[in-house]
Chains A and B, each alone.
Chain A
Amino acid sequence: DAKTTQPPSMDCAEGRAANLPCNHSTISGNEYVYWYRQIHSQGPQYIIHGLKNNETNEMASLIITEDRKSSTLILPHATLRDTAVYYCIVRVAYTDKLIFGTGTRLQVFP
């Protein structure tokens, strides 16, 4: 059963922030939210993960709502190279398997 729901596609202008939403309304208290992306013809790439607090790294920011039923991945200044399929995944623990859903295809345009 899918644990996350994401829009199938989104567009974003180069240089603008890309905000990718994810619904995980059935998430349990001990489940983490992970984000990966897959650029065409490459293996998926880890972006960020979090439990309940907002997180930021050199690639992106992750905003998790207080009730943890949804989250948003933010790419602050999208570039053409950010065009990819973005996957939101919930995972019980760092020792659990990763199950990918259908993701959001982000197209960054000039």
Chain B
Amino acid sequence: GAGVSQSPSNKVTEKGKDVELRCDPISGHTALYWYRQSLGQGLEFLIYFQGNSAPDKSGLPSDRFSAERTGGSVSTLTIQRTQQEDSAVYLCASSLAVEGRAEAFFGQGTRLTVV
């Protein structure tokens, strides 16, 4: 597709289980971002991948959260031992990261509910 694709769109999991969220960025985009948004709140930065550089993980809230980007394309955000406070919409975005063309395009998000 032409846009950023995230899967699943909805995920319900039991507390303590691990979950994987997937992001397919726009083809050719070198930058990829993960955010989470709790109900009624703003976007919380989690992690940023830019080309072959080491990812900026400064926003990850705990060591239960990790992300990888394989082959400079698809990214997976993994949450281990999920807690109820992890319930949120997880948003992925990608951009060209080229001067004048740096706008980020967002997916529709994965709504995670931990019960």
Contact = CB atoms under 8 A, between A and B. Distances in A.
A43 B103 contact: no
Contact of A94 (B33, B35, B48, B99): B99
Interface string A82-98: 00010100000011011
Given A49-B102, A49-B103, A94 B43 contact: no
A26 interface: no
A43 B108 contact: yes
B45 A97 contact: yes
Given A100-B45, A103-B42, A94 B106 contact: no
A54 interface: no
Contact of A100 (B42, B56, B103, B107): B42
A43 B109 contact: yes
| Contact-residue size bin, chain A (C-beta under 8 Å from the other chain) | 20 to 34
B106 A45 contact: yes
Contacts of B98: 94
B42 A43 contact: no
Contacts of A45: 106
A98 to B, nearest CB: 6
A42 interface: yes
Nearest to A97: B48
Contacts of A109: none
Contacts of A100: 35, 42-43, 45
B98 to A, nearest CB: 7
Contacts of A102: 42
Interface string A30-54: 0000101010001111100100000
Given A43-B91, A43-B93, A45-B106, A98 B45 contact: yes
Interface of A: 34, 36, 38, 42-46, 49, 85, 87, 94-95, 97-103
